[in-house]
Amino acid sequence: MAKLDKLIQDLDAYRVKPMRRFKLAAIDSHVDGGMDKDQAVAGLTACREKLAKLQVKLYAQGTQALLVVFQAMDTAGKDSTIREVFTGINPQGVNVHGFKGPSSIELSHDYLWRIHAHTPERGKIGVFNRSHYEDVLIARVKELVPAAVWRRRYDHINAFEALLHDEGTRIVKFYLHISKDYQKERLQRRLDDPEKHWKFDPNDLVERARWDSYMKAYEEAMMRCSTEVAPWYIVPAETRWFRDLLVAQVLVKMLESMKPAPPKAKFDPSTIVIE
Amino acid sequence: MAKLDKLIQDLDAYRVKPMRRFKLAAIDSHVDGGMDKDQAVAGLTACREKLAKLQVKLYAQGTQALLVVFQAMDTAGKDSTIREVFTGINPQGVNVHGFKGPSSIELSHDYLWRIHAHTPERGKIGVFNRSHYEDVLIARVKELVPAAVWRRRYDHINAFEALLHDEGTRIVKFYLHISKDYQKERLQRRLDDPEKHWKFDPNDLVERARWDSYMKAYEEAMMRCSTEVAPWYIVPAETRWFRDLLVAQVLVKMLESMKPAPPKAKFDPSTIVIE
């Protein structure tokens, strides 16, 4: 378990430093932490058990929430990471929300309106599959809004996340990091397997063609919006069991640091008689 | 497995017949189906695996939804049934919503307004921990509205559920059935265990004192609103592993009858080249 202990100590190595420029292309997306799959799977199982227990305490306490954001290029495994990490936690304590292209009602409000509506209530874990970051990613890459508009959004987002934090919601954000070659492999696999055709959308290739623009947009978003209260983590995502383990370890560490504990009784049990 | 097969064949025995009067007091709440715990737990595990697979197909298909309603007296185990049956299904495909006393905004609308807002979108399983049935249960027992008002609600509810059904949402409703003596035991256990104090609310005893009125309200609600498209099941809930198994079996049967299947591809895979 020495490798696992080392990973737990090194979690900060995956955290994006505020306002420090970096290149995603320079970060290895194929990492296994020196572990083999069995070790990682055992580590993930242990994490799941810890998360399940921490969730019960968070719910009983009812004063804090946790918001977990996932962003990634297509095929990096947002869906499967969420499935692997959160399956096994009582679904009453976890709400997953997937953000798609905004509806006309949503578009008639500011871009954080629909996001705010889905933030977790106190006592719960909220998981976002895509998020308000799309408004500085796809909105920038596809020029859905002028540059002057998306540029000022980093400040909005930091202020919004600071509000959530100040009012009891802890935030952690994961970028699942893959290479363009890896995406090609995964897309080809979807095409080759009729059972996976429903996951394939020819439009995905249009986004793929803009890969470099997306990388630039991700780099800037993470550099500007990885803050003390709402850090971004870059998760090497090509070794799937390592990806899941890393995400789970960060979540365990975060929830433990929140020290959730059931509240004291507000009544005197010795005075109560049940008829 | 003969006992399990018999249970599967006999599921309809737990279904409430439309418009047929009955007394909850005459229905045994302590039932184990002639099984022992190990058999039931094995049966539940098999159900969970089936549910997990059916959920994936329901999601891929994206045209049908399933709404699962839980109602019960306090301590009957709504929370733990939901945990036991749905933990293990991808939380992206399941939304659990607990309805508490209505907020002032909710009260300024009709009583089905907040319910409608939380019905599952197509492709998903929605679970209600309490529901619109509170509006013919607590609202009736505590006289929150005049009798003329709650009496006409059965028709509203049947029409509302028929709408959901017609538009692609299948509905199943579970009443977790316990005796008043069993509730006393469970409440006492919460009082005796400091770790469970947060689950105890002295106000629960006020509701307990109205037990007979609640039974009458449940009987009428289930008699009037157990329909072909949205049946009520009465689940004997004092043997917890039997309770969980029965609920899971009904859900498996229901989802299987929906025949969820991924849609055919709308493109020709052989024409697509990934650059």
DSSP A120: P
Residue A188 burial (CB < 10 Å; 0-12/13-18/19+)? Answer: middle
CA dihedral B154→B158→B163→B167, nearest 10 degrees, is 140
Nearest to B255 by CA among B34, B86, B64: B64
Tell me the pairing of strands A169-177 and A125-129. unpaired
B95 - beta bridge partners? B126
Contact of B84 with B41, CB cutoff 8 Å: no
**Predicted local confidence at residue A142, as pLDDT:** 96
Tally C-beta pairs within 8 A across A and B: 103
pLDDT of residue B1: 67
Residue A148's Cβ-count burial label (10 Å; 0-12, 13-18, 19+) is: exposed
At a CB cut-off of 8 Å and minimum separation 6, what does A242 contact?
A: A31, A32, A33, A35, A40, A236
Residue entry with tokens 């029965």: B246
Rounded Cα distance, A51 and B49, in Å: 21
Distance from the Cα of residue B27 to its chain's centroid:
19
Q: What is the tens place of the pLDDT at every residue in A81-94?
A: 999 999 989 999 99
B195 contacts in A (CB within 8 Å)? 262
Closest-CA residue in chain B for A92?
Answer: B96
Please give the Cα distance from A230 to A125 (Å, whole number): 15
Report ipTM (2 d.p.).
Answer: 0.84
Look at residue B60 and tell me whether its pLDDT is greater than 90. Answer: yes
pLDDT tens-digit series, residues B133-180: 999 999 999 999 999 999 999 999 999 999 999 999 999 999 999 999
Supply the pTM of this predicted model: 0.91
pLDDT digits (tens, 9 = 90+) for A246-256: 999 999 999 99
B chain contacts of residue A272, beta-carbon cutoff 8 Å: 191, 202, 205
Residue A178 Cα, gap to closest chain B Cα (Å): 16
A61 burial via Cβ count (<10 Å: 0-12, 13-18, 19+): middle
